[in-house]
Structure 1
């Protein structure tokens, strides 16, 4: 049921150090409560030849570039060749994949960025999973808590899928493109290869290989 939202259909698990975590679950939001404990478990096993222990439960690859103005709080793993730019704020329970870019004034918490993800300009990403080579345009953000503070549900066609979680941001599949100044409401799931127009307000499920133009207007991508 809800196969379009399953991890196996949206994520290349060879492109994340969190593969063994994600393999335990069917849907990506199920991973969110386990990110912190997984980092603590994995961090102890990382090679000292490849990673520096840069603070309390903070592991940074020796080949990563981290601006001196960045604020990084553990548990965190920052992968090889990743770039953490000026005034980035990493609040904890975060995995930054190999070659990923975390940009100026971008804030992350309780999030997995697969390899080559780009969140390069003024982004907020909380309680989210971003797949391989996904990209969030400048000013685009994930909203992770409902205004009434009730548990997040995911709208899938006419169904409402219960997550059992109070905080769920966005779950982006591989190669997703998010336009500038877009807001993804709590429990947004965007399938592999989908594109979202700038200035969008996205809610619920967006199918793979589609273009989200506005609420109620989602078209298949021409191949």
Structure 2
């Protein structure tokens, strides 16, 4: 369940070409910046404006005032970037997404139809198709001891070699309000996280993470 092919339908992202060559999705994190710069140069000029150096925004995207979009970044078709959004750079945002008020993005891939609409922090993370983060939910991307992130799944431990990894959300994941996803969290497709949860490790697909950390299969 940790592998890219088990988490994502790659037909719903412009990042398919870098993700399809990974075994685990976090292997793509170091490639996002350069990939955006090269991809941006190939985007059709009748569909995207390069509004500043290495920042491409679809002509039909809705960009509200009072936000910041740093390079490199791509904002897809019919995506909304709402007031107070802080896109720090290395952000590949898909089509029909919502980047909400006071939401911060850094080194991320958001598949199509992703919603991070209210007071979210998403860093060094990949959010799958139609995934949604409730108000105030965040990805924590650096361990408190500053050691390299290890992804854990049962007795399996995968050394990532990376200091910064947020969360890998599979397609159609729902994260409840005011939840914290700790570094290296992986959530399988179609799973839910209760509000105010502190999540670490992995959640299988089609499961529910409850407030006390109990994981149950969806019925």
Unaligned regions of 5+ residues in structure 1, if any? none
Root-mean-square deviation (CA, aligned residues, Å) is: 0.7
Contact 1:154/1:160 (8 A) holds in 2: yes
> What's the secondary structure of 1:112's corresponding residue?
strand
1:108 lines up with 2:78 in the alignment: no
> How many angstroms does 1:214 deviate by?
3.3
Contact 2:7/2:189 (8 A) holds in 1: yes
Unaligned regions of 5+ residues in structure 2, if any? none
For 2:181 and 2:135, how far apart are their aligned partners in 1? 13
Contact 1:132/1:174 (8 A) holds in 2: yes
> How many angstroms does 1:99 deviate by?
0.2
Equivalent residue number for residue 78 of structure 2: 81
Equivalent residue number for residue 27 of structure 2: 30
> What's the secondary structure of 2:210's corresponding residue?
strand
Could you state the TM-score of these two structures normalised by the residue count of structure 2? 0.99
Equivalent residue number for residue 192 of structure 2: 195
Tell me which of 69, 89, 107 is aligned to 1:72: 69
For 2:2 and 2:109, how far apart are their aligned partners in 1? 17
Q: Which runs of 4+ in 1 moved over 2 A?
A: none
C-alpha distance 216-104 of structure 1, shift in aligned 2 (>3 A): closer
Aligned ranges for residues 1-223 of structure 1 at < 5 Å?
A: 4-222=1-219
For 2:14 and 2:53, how far apart are their aligned partners in 1? 20
> How many angstroms does 1:216 deviate by?
4.1
Give the number of aligned pairs: 219
> How many angstroms does 1:65 deviate by?
0.6
> How many angstroms does 1:24 deviate by?
1.3
For 2:124 and 2:211, how far apart are their aligned partners in 1? 24
